[in-house]
């Protein structure tokens, strides 16, 4: 079973390089108290997101989908003390878990958790004319991916990085006729990115603790 090896290799690199501290370990464990216990990114994926943010020199990050705030902590640390993260979460119950984790991680003062449907919160940010974001991580309900991409494009400038999680789904993305709305949400956002000359993008397939999945990494031209 190769997937057993993937998970072991994931653990090996996470232990060697990802450097999870107690606050991140606790945040990962507290996912059990959220409405989606298995959805957090892995340590290696969190470190990858943080590296992307650093390489991009990101100071302002927008995240669709908070849950326990595990990826939020990685991103908040990456933007530094002067940086700012806005993270959008549907459920107050999850936001409460996340806020505790952000305090424990020492980044609560640079993170704003907004509760409600992320499409509504995104629109409110557009209407408020907030300062543009440098990196957007789209990781909420998958059927709304196209809406979140549209909001991300309104809330960023050229040079910004847009990442979309869970775009491989164990290979299910290949099924154009899938009756899974999450697969259709992925395929729709792939089509939207492909049709947008203002975006350059690729997909990074990932294996490891969460099985076989992947992220789109896009950049605004």
Supply the minimum distance, in Å, between the C-beta of residue 108 and ligand DHB. 23
User: CA-to-CA distance for 84 and 54, rounded, in angstroms?
Assistant: 13
Site string for Mg ion, 137-166 (x = CB under 5 A): --x-------------------------xx
Query: Which of residues 131 and 138 has its CB atom nearest to ligand DHB in the complex?
Result: 138
Q: Which does 10 bind (CB under 5 to 8 A by kind): Mg ion, ligand DHB, none?
A: none
Residue nearest Mg ion (C-beta atom): 165
Query: Which of residues 46 and 83 has its CB atom nearest to ligand DHB in the complex?
Result: 46
For 147-166, the DSSP string reads HHHHHHHHTEEEEEEEEEE-
The CA-based angle 96-70-129, given to 5 degrees, is 75
Q: Which does 79 bind (CB under 5 to 8 A by kind): ligand DHB, Mg ion, none?
A: none
Contacts 24+ apart (CB under 8 A), 111-115: 111/69, 111/72, 111/76, 111/84, 111/85, 111/86, 111/87, 112/84, 112/85, 112/86, 112/87, 113/66, 113/69, 113/72, 113/87, 113/89, 114/86, 114/87, 114/88, 114/89, 115/89, 115/90, 115/91
Site string for Mg ion, 104-143 (x = CB under 5 A): -----------------------------------x----
Contact positions toward ligand DHB, by CB under 6 A? 39, 139, 142, 165-166, 182
Residue nearest ligand DHB (C-beta atom): 39
Residues that bind Mg ion (CB under 5 A): 139, 165-166
């Amino acid at each position: 079973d190769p997937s057993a090896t993937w998970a072991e290799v994931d653990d090996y690199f996470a232990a060697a390089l990802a450097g999870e501290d107690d606050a991140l370990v606790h945040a990962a464990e507290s996912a059990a108290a959220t409405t989606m216990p298995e959805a957090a990114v892995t340590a290696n994926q969190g470190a990858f997101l943080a590296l992307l943010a650093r390489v991009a020199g990101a100071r302002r990050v927008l995240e669709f989908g908070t849950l326990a705030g595990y990826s939020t902590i990685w991103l908040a640390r990456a933007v530094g003390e002067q940086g700012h993260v806005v993270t959008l979460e549907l459920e107050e119950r999850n936001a409460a878990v996340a806020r505790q984790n952000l305090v424990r991680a020492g980044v609560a003062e640079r993170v704003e958790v907004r509760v409600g449907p992320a499409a509504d919160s995104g629109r409110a940010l557009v209407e408020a004319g907030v300062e543009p974001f440098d990196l957007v991580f789209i990781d909420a309900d998958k059927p709304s991916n196209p809406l979140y991409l549209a909001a991300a494009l309104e809330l960023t400038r050229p040079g910004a990085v847009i990442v979309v999680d869970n775009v491989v789904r164990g290979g299910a993305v290949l099924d154009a006729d899938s009756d899974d709305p999450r697969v259709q949400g992925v395929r729709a956002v792939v089509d939207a990115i492909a049709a947008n000359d203002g975006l350059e993008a690729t997909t990074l397939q990932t294996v490891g603790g969460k099985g076989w999945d992947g992220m789109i990494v896009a950049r605004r031209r």
